[in-house]
Amino acid sequence: MNVEEILKTNKKMELSKRTVIHLMLVSNKLNESTSTTLKPFDVSVQQFNVLRILRGQKGKPANLKTLNERMVTKMSNTTRLVDKLILKGYVKRETCEANRRKIEIYITTKGEKALSSMDIAMNKNDEQIVQNFTEEELEYLNVLFDKF
């Protein structure tokens, strides 16, 4: 991906600016690819993330705070994401017996099955995204990303 070609400029950019723009372009490309992969499942990237978090709870409930803390993309509309997943039958929400103010959120069997299908598609997508990198390059790329 050549930044100058994409921006249609011959002007030399300072390295820091070029790097930030490059990262933004890569991020947009990754988001597009992920959204396209999840589109057949009628699930957004954020909804997919909520489902993965809930599956990771291994049957234990999560609350909105837990979901917000663990989301890849931090946002304030987690309640709306959960509501949409409830309508699809992928998650359920229950009021805690011990503390009526506490809402517990679980993934349903239907949600786990749907997520398994999404995982297959996402694994293919992930492999396609990194296909031009060696394992060593991916390791180094992660070391560089850790510097953020």
What mean pLDDT do residues 16-31 have?
91
Query: Does residue 1 fall inside a structural domain?
Result: no
- CA max distance for the chain: 65
Rg (CA), the chain: 19
Q: Is residue 92 part of a domain?
A: yes
Who contacts 116 (Cβ-Cβ below 8 Å, separation ≥6)?
A: none
> How sure is the predictor about 41, in pLDDT bands with cuts at 50, 70 and 90?
very high
63 domain residue, yes or no: yes
The pTM assigned to this predicted structure is 0.85
Mean pLDDT calculated for residue range 127-147: 95
**Domain span including residue 112:** 42-118
Report helix angle 15-38 to 109-129, nearest 10. 140
| Residue 97: inside a domain | yes
Domain contains 13: no
Q: Domain for residue 65, yes or no?
A: yes
Identify the CATH number of the domain in which residue 80 sits.
Answer: 1.10.10.10
Distance, in Å, from the CA atom of 48 to the CA atom of 77, rounded to the nearest integer, reads: 14
* Residue 107 resides in a domain: yes
Tell me the C-alpha to C-alpha distance, in Å, between residue 67 and each of 44, 56, 82. Answer: 15, 11, 10
d(CA 3, CA 25): 8
Dump pLDDT digits (tens) for 81-127. 999 999 999 999 988 777 777 889 999 999 999 999 999 999 999 99
Determine the length of the chain.
Answer: 148
For residue 148, being part of any structural domain is answered with no
Total count of domains within the chain: 1
What is the b/e burial string over 7-30, where b = at least 16 CB atoms within 10 angstroms of the residue's CB? eeeeeeeeeeeeeeeeeeeeeeee
